Amino acid sequence: MQNKESEFHEFLLEEYNHIAEAHFKTNETLTRVFQQYFTIVGLPFSVLVVVVSLEPARSVIISGNPVLLAVVALLFIVISVLGLMVLIHISNLRFDALLYARTINALRKHFYDLSETRDLASKNMMRVLPQSPMIPPYQEFPRGFMAPIVFAMSFVNSAYFYLGLICWQFASGMGFSLASTQAAVNLCTGIFFATHIVVYVRLAQAREYQYLRSNIMGIDIDGVLNKQPTQFCRFLEKNAGKKITEAQIVTIPVHDCKNLGISEADEKAVFNDPAYWIEMPVADAAPEALGRLCNLYGLRLHLFTHRPWPVTTGLCSVDTRRIETEWVKQSWAFDTEIILSKGIWDRVGYSLSGVWRTLCPYRLRRFRLWFTSETPIDSVTKNWLEMHGLKYHALMIEKGSEDVGDPAMQIYNRFYACRTHPKKYFVEDDLVKAKKLASICDVVFLMDQPYNRAEAEELPKNIVRVSDWKEILIQMRQFC
């Protein structure tokens, strides 16, 4: 343990040196880009002085050739827009430098806290540089390092923009009487100037409140928001005549469990039953927990589930038709039940939002609507969430393989979603998926189940095993 701690401190020291070097190099790059910018924007005027000194060119300019004026106008406007892009690039370089500075501050605090030779008062007296990872602020306008840079670039770019509009007026045949359009030119120039400031402020706010600060929690449905093991045991006895307990399900899929005598056909008999999903019991305290996560911690909740059911591969046409018809019948009945359970105005709104789904006929062969891609299991899932008052902001019913985490595949599943829209937290019950998600999300809560209790296996440090939703709420008090 002592050796591991020593190695960790050495790693932090090396990290400190590299980040400090990156911080200074980023500031040097920022200064160099700023200098090159002013060299480039001054170049057209230098060229203009040379051109004007030549007699043929001077005659063309004085004559007011409209083609030449149009080219000059376009050049000035392009330079002004490119200048705005350069400001964005410079701002991002500065934000990176500030991110490195914050990291250095956090590392400095770590090593100051390790020191036992001085008391707190002595440390505060000798310390000059900050130790807070929340400073320096990203917002440096109207005061700070970026204020003069933003003002200077806004002024220069707007000047080019203004000259471009004036030249365009002349080229458009408006002559030298600019009184009728001068107000419009001034307004456009003022908007362009303000755009620079607004863009910088928005970028700073995004870095402060969004970059590396995702407020999204991903949540698996089956085994996390519901009591799927309990339901599976009940329906296995009902549909296949085989009786097992939840503790015996030590591997998923269940037909891989040894000595249980459960076949893949037995599993299909359970999962192909629409009542299995409609009557699924909700996990204890889940509705209250989701409400608190939204209201108290400001999290956005994205739900995930992989439900390709019903699967009729290998069944005869008669059985396939019977299962498809039953799914359509029960999904419609469940939808109607949800509508009738609402108040009159909620009922009207809910009915209007789903009127297209209700009126369009199903293609029984593939469980698709004629003009939509929603299947009966999709409808059942949404209505089940509605029935139990489970609050969420987005729902992904995964298509294709649910296990592929390779980004090159770009398969529509939770791993792809967590990369494209980073999730800070995730609640999962599948051990294999939890370990994959641990490399993408900051914290993964592993809902304890008999099938995810792998013995003698060291989990990643950011996987937190929890027993229920109440424990998740307790853990969240430490992370938020």
Predicted confidence (pLDDT) at residue 429 exceeds the cutoff of 90: yes
Name the pTM for this structure: 0.73
Segment 280-283 long-range contacts (CB within 8 Å, at least 24 positions apart):
280/226, 280/227, 280/228, 280/231, 280/384, 281/226, 281/227, 281/230, 281/231, 282/225, 282/226, 282/227, 282/388, 282/390, 283/224, 283/225, 283/226, 283/227, 283/468, 283/469
Angstrom distance (rounded) from CA 45 to CA 211: 40
pLDDT band of 73, cuts 50, 70, 90: confident
Angstrom distance (rounded) from CA 171 to CA 52: 19
pLDDT band of 327, cuts 50, 70, 90: very high
Q: What is the mean pLDDT of residues 233-238?
A: 94
Taking Cα atoms as reference points, which of 328, 348, 330 lies closest to residue 339? Answer: 348
pLDDT band of 361, cuts 50, 70, 90: very low
Angstrom distance (rounded) from CA 80 to CA 155: 10
Q: What is the mean pLDDT of residues 315-329?
A: 90
Beta strands per DSSP E along 208-335: 216-220, 300-305
What pLDDT sits at residue 225? 97
Which pair of structure tokens corresponds to residue 63?
A: 């004559």
| Dihedral (CA of 396, 397, 402, 406) sign | negative
What pLDDT sits at residue 109? 79
| Mean pLDDT lowest among 330-334, 344-348, 437-441 | 344-348
How many residues are there in the chain?
480
Predicted confidence (pLDDT) at residue 77 exceeds the cutoff of 80: yes
What pLDDT sits at residue 372? 46
What pLDDT sits at residue 179? 46
What pLDDT sits at residue 120? 66
Predicted confidence (pLDDT) at residue 270 exceeds the cutoff of 50: yes
| Mean pLDDT lowest among 1-10, 26-35, 145-154, 459-468 | 1-10
| Mean pLDDT lowest among 63-72, 297-306, 340-349 | 340-349
Predicted confidence (pLDDT) at residue 345 exceeds the cutoff of 70: no
Cα Rg of the chain (Å, integer): 32
Predicted confidence (pLDDT) at residue 60 exceeds the cutoff of 80: no
